[in-house]
Amino acid sequence: MDSSCIQSASSPFDCIVFDLDDTLYSSKTGIGQALKRNIDDFLVERFGFPESQAPTLRAELFKIYGSSLVGLRSLGYDVDADDYHSVVHGRLPYDLIKPDAKLRNLLQTIKQRKIIFTNSDKIHAMKTLDRLGIKDCFEQIICLETMNPNLSKSTTPVVLKPSMEAMKIAVDVAGVDPRRTLFLDDNVKNVAAGKAVGLRTVLVGKAIKSKETDYALETIPNLVQVIPEIWFSEEDDQRISHTKNDVDSILSATAVGA
Ligand SMILES: [Mg+2]
C-alpha cells in the first residue's frame, strides 16, 4: 500500500504535489478567458449585476477573496456551489485542452507519489486531466470538495488555497512530510502559503525565483534542468545517469516531434 517504499532514498522528495490550472496546462489555451467570461455571466444571470460591471466585480472578488465563490459567500450572497460550477466550469470549451504526450512522458519518469491539489471542483479536475491524457498519472486529487465537505450549506465559509487551513488539510489528507514534498503552483500566494506549512515550493510560469519560493520554472518540462534531484536514486550513479538520460531522450524526442 505504501508507495513511498518504491521511492528512491537519495531523492530529497517523497511526493510531488501539483496545482492543475495554469500549472499543468497553460491558460493561453483560451480556457482562462472562457472561465472569466463564465464567472461574469454567472454574476449577471444569477444576481442581476450589470453586464458592464461584472468584469470589475469579478477581478475585485478574486483580488480580495481568491475566488468569486468565496467572495460572494463572504459578502452574504446565497450561492449554491453546484450551480456556480455548472455555469463557471460546466460551460467551458474543454476541447481547447489537448492531450499532452510530452507532459505524460515526463510524469511517468517521476517515481514518487504524485498528487493534484486544486481549488477547482472535482468534475473540472477530472475532465481537464482526462483531456490532457494524464488522469492515471496521479494517485490522489485534493480539490474543492476535499477542503469543503459541507459545501452545499451556503452558510459555511469556503476553504481554498492560499488559506493556511487549506494547506494543512492538503498535507494531512495526502499524509506527507511537508519537508520532503515538492509543491508546484502558478500562484505566488499559494506558493507562499505552501512554504509557510513547510513544503518545498516551486513557482510555475516564472523563470526567476523570489523569496516566497524555493524554485521557479517557466513550464513543467523545465523540472528536469531546475530540480534534477527528483530523479536521484539510491542505486549507483549508473542508474542515476540512466534515468536522467531517459528523461533527456524523452524531451528531445518530443521536441523533434513538436
Ligand atoms: Mg493555478
Task: Compute the distance between CA of residue 220 and CA of residue 231 in angstroms, rounded to an integer.
Answer: 14
CA dist 105 to 14, 27, 37, 112, 132, Å?
A: 19, 21, 33, 14, 12
| C-alpha 234 – ligand 1 centre gap (Å) | 33
Residues 6+ apart with CB under 8 A from 204: 19, 22, 23, 184, 185, 186, 216, 217, 218, 219, 220
| C-alpha 22 – ligand 1 centre gap (Å) | 5
The model's confidence at residue 7, banded by pLDDT at 50, 70 and 90, is: very low
Mapped onto helix, strand or coil, the DSSP state of residue 3 is: helix
Pairing of strands 15-18, 113-117: parallel
| C-alpha 120 – ligand 1 centre gap (Å) | 9
Task: Flag whether pLDDT at 236 surpasses 90.
Answer: no
Q: Which pLDDT score is estimated for 4?
A: 45
| C-alpha 185 – ligand 1 centre gap (Å) | 6
The per-residue pLDDT for range 53-105, each reduced to its tens digit, is: 999 999 999 988 888 998 998 898 989 988 999 999 999 999 999 999 999 99
Q: DSSP for 137-198?
A: G-SEEE-HHHH-TTTTSTTSPPP-TTSHHHHHHHHHHHT--GGGEEEEES-HHHHHHHHHTT
* For residues 193-199, average pLDDT: 98
Task: Flag whether pLDDT at 10 surpasses 60.
Answer: yes
Peptide bond into 162 cis (omega under 30): yes
| C-alpha 201 – ligand 1 centre gap (Å) | 14
| C-alpha 190 – ligand 1 centre gap (Å) | 9
Q: How many CB atoms lie within 10 A of CB 93?
A: 11
pTM of the model: 0.85
The model's confidence at residue 250, banded by pLDDT at 50, 70 and 90, is: low
| C-alpha 97 – ligand 1 centre gap (Å) | 15
Look over the chain and give the mean of its residue pLDDT values, rounded to a whole number: 88
* For residues 122-145, average pLDDT: 97
| C-alpha 25 – ligand 1 centre gap (Å) | 9
Task: Flag whether pLDDT at 117 surpasses 70.
Answer: yes
* For residues 94-120, average pLDDT: 97
The per-residue pLDDT for range 136-190, each reduced to its tens digit, is: 999 999 999 999 988 877 667 789 999 999 999 999 999 999 999 999 999 999 9
| C-alpha 184 – ligand 1 centre gap (Å) | 9
Task: Flag whether pLDDT at 244 surpasses 70.
Answer: no
Mapped onto helix, strand or coil, the DSSP state of residue 216 is: strand
